[in-house]
Amino acid sequence: MSGRPRVFVTRPILDEGLAVLRDAGCEVDVWQDDLPPSRADLLARVRGASGVLALLTERIDAGVMDAAGPGLRVVSVHAVGVDNVDVAEATRRGIVVTNTPDVLTETTADFAFALLMAAARRIPEGIDVVRRGEWRTWGPKVLLGTDVHGGTLGVVGFGRIGRAVARRASGFAMRVLRHDPGLPAGPADAEVGATRCEDLRDLLVASDFVSIHVPYGPATHHLIGDAALEAMRPHAILVNTSRGPVVDTDALVRALAAGRIGGAALDVTDPEPLPPDHPLLSFPGCLVVPHVASASRATRTRMSVLAARNLVAVLRGERPPHAVNDEMVARAVALALDRNRGRL
Ligand code: DGY
C-alpha cells in the first residue's frame, strides 16, 4: 500500500478538480460511470479512504463512514446543498464536511430566472408547437402568457442564491417580497428593494412568481404543500431550484390538476430522476428540467476545483475554504498536523 492518502471520487468530475487532487499527491480512485455507484459499490470503494469527494446523489451516512474506516477525515460535497450527508454523524466522528457555495450562486440564479421566464411566457409549449408542425399562423390568442416585468416575485429563502435572483428581478422592474424567518430586514433587502414577509403566507398570497431557495432539511420538508399552494394566486408560477422534497409533489399535482396555480418550473423534483410517466409531466404548464441549474462549464469547473481544494486542505491539516461543520475544523487541523505531517 502506498503512503499517499486515498481519495474516492464518486463520479468523473471536471478534469481541473481531479488535477488538484492528483497534484496534491492523493491516490485518486474515480467511479467511472455516468450513473452513481450502487450502495454496495460505494461501500466497497470508500474502504480505506482518507477523503470522499461526493456528489449530491450519494447518501453519505454512518454506514459509509464505517465502511471507509477510522482514517476518513473529510467528506467533500460537490454542491452547496449537503442534505445527502449526515453532518451530525460526521461531526461526532471528527470528519470535516465541506461544500461549494458562492461559485455557483450567479449561475444558479440565472437558471432560476430563465425557468421563471420560460414558464411565464410558455416557451417550452411554443417550442413543442413548432416541432409538432402546428404553427399555422400568427394569432392574437396564441400561447398567451404572463408578463414578467412589473410582476411580484416572492423569494422563499433569502440566502446567496435567493438574493441573486432578487437582483435579477429588480432589472425587470419587479416588486420583490422575501421570506426567510431567520433573517431580519437589513442591507440585503435594501440592495434589491425587497420587502420582508415574516409570514410565508403573506408572500404567497401576493406573488405572481414564487421562487424557492431554502436548504432542504426537516424544517423545510414539504414547506410548499397543500396549504401553501392553496394560498398562491391562481395565475402564479412556482419555481424550484432548491431541493425536490421542499415541495410536496402530490400536493403540486393536485394544485395543477385543479388549476389552483398557473404553473410550475422545476429544476428539482421528488423523486429524482422523475419517471417519464409521472403525472407532473402531463401538465403543459409544468416545466421540468433534470437538476441542471449550476450546469455551466465555468461553474462546474469552479465547483470541481473548490471541492478538490476543500478536500486537500483538510488532508494537509489546513483550514478548507468552505467547511459545513466549522466546529470540526480546528480539531481536524490539530489532528492532521499530528498524523499527516509531510504526507501531502
Ligand atoms: C447544489 O449545489 O446544491 C446544486 O443543487 C447542484 O448544483
CA dihedral 188, 244, 80, 165 (to 10 degrees): -30
Ligand 1 proximity of 162 Cβ (cutoff 6 Å): no
pLDDT of residue 283: 98
Q: Are 222 and 250 in contact (CB under 8 A)?
A: no
Whether 103 lines ligand 1, by a CB cut-off of 6 Å, is no
> Which whole number is the average pLDDT over 242-269?
98
Burial group, residue 296, by CB count within 10 angstroms (0-12, 13-18, 19+)? middle
- pLDDT recorded at residue 288: 98
Whole-prediction pTM: 0.94
Residue 16: the pLDDT is: 98
Q: What is the whole-number distance in angstroms between the Cα of residue 146 and the centre of ligand 1?
A: 28
Q: Which residue has the higher pLDDT, 122 or 1?
A: 122
User: Closest ligand 1 atom, CA of 99?
Assistant: 2
Q: Is the CB of 84 under 6 A from ligand 1?
A: no
State in Å: Cα 159 to ligand 1 middle.
14
Name which of 51-60, 86-95, 237-246, 321-330 the model is least confident about: 321-330
Contact 79, 310 (CB under 8 A): no
Atom number, ligand 1, closest to the C-alpha of residue 267: 5
User: What strand order describes the sheet that includes 51-54?
Assistant: 27-30, 6-9, 51-54, 74-77, 96-98
The residue contributing the CA closest to ligand 1 atom 2 is 79
For residue 30, count CB atoms less than 10 angstroms from its CB and return exposed for 0-12, middle for 13-18, buried for 19 or more: middle
174-217 residue pLDDT tens: 999 999 998 999 999 999 999 999 999 999 999 999 999 999 99
- The rounded Å distance from CA 98 to ligand 1 centre is 13
Q: What's the 293 CA to ligand 1 centre distance in angstroms?
A: 7
How far is Cα 294 from Cα 303, in angstroms, rounded to an integer?
Answer: 9
Per-domain boundaries in the chain: 6-101+297-340, 105-288
C-beta of 159 in contact with ligand 1 (< 6 A)? no
Catalytic center residues: 243, 272, 291
How far apart, in whole angstroms, are the C-alpha atoms of residue 229 and residue 214? 17
Ligand 1 contact, 116 CB (< 6 A): no
Nearest CA, atom 6, ligand 1: 79
- Say what the pLDDT of residue 17 is: 98
Is any ligand 1 atom within 6 A of the Cβ of residue 104? yes
User: What is the mean pLDDT of the segment spanning 317-327?
Assistant: 93
Q: Which of 33, 37, 71 has the alpha carbon at shortest distance from 54?
A: 37
The response to whether residue 246 sits with its C-beta less than 6 Å from ligand 1 reads no
* Topology alike, domains 6-101+297-340 and 105-288: yes
Assign 240 a pLDDT band (cuts: 50, 70, 90): very high
**Residue 342 pLDDT > 80, yes or no?**
no
Task: Report pLDDT digits (tens) over 35-87.
Answer: 999 999 999 999 999 999 999 999 999 999 999 999 999 999 999 999 999 99
Q: Provide the CATH topology of domain 105-288.
A: Rossmann fold (3.40.50)
> What percent helix, strand, coil does the chain show, rounded to 5?
40, 15, 45
Predicted confidence at residue 1, as pLDDT, reads 35
Instruction: Name residue 139's amino acid.
Output: G
Tell me which residue has its CA closest to atom 1 in ligand 1. 79
**pLDDT for residue 341:** 47
CB within 8 Å of 340: residues ≥ 6 apart: 5, 315, 316, 317
Residue closest via CA to ligand 1's atom 4 equals: 79
- Does residue 129 surpass a pLDDT of 50? yes
* Pocket residue to mutate for ligand 1, from 82, 108, 268, 296, most atoms within 8 A of Cβ: 108
The mean of the pLDDT values for the chain is 95
Class of domain 6-101+297-340: alpha beta
54 lines ligand 1 (CB under 6 A): no
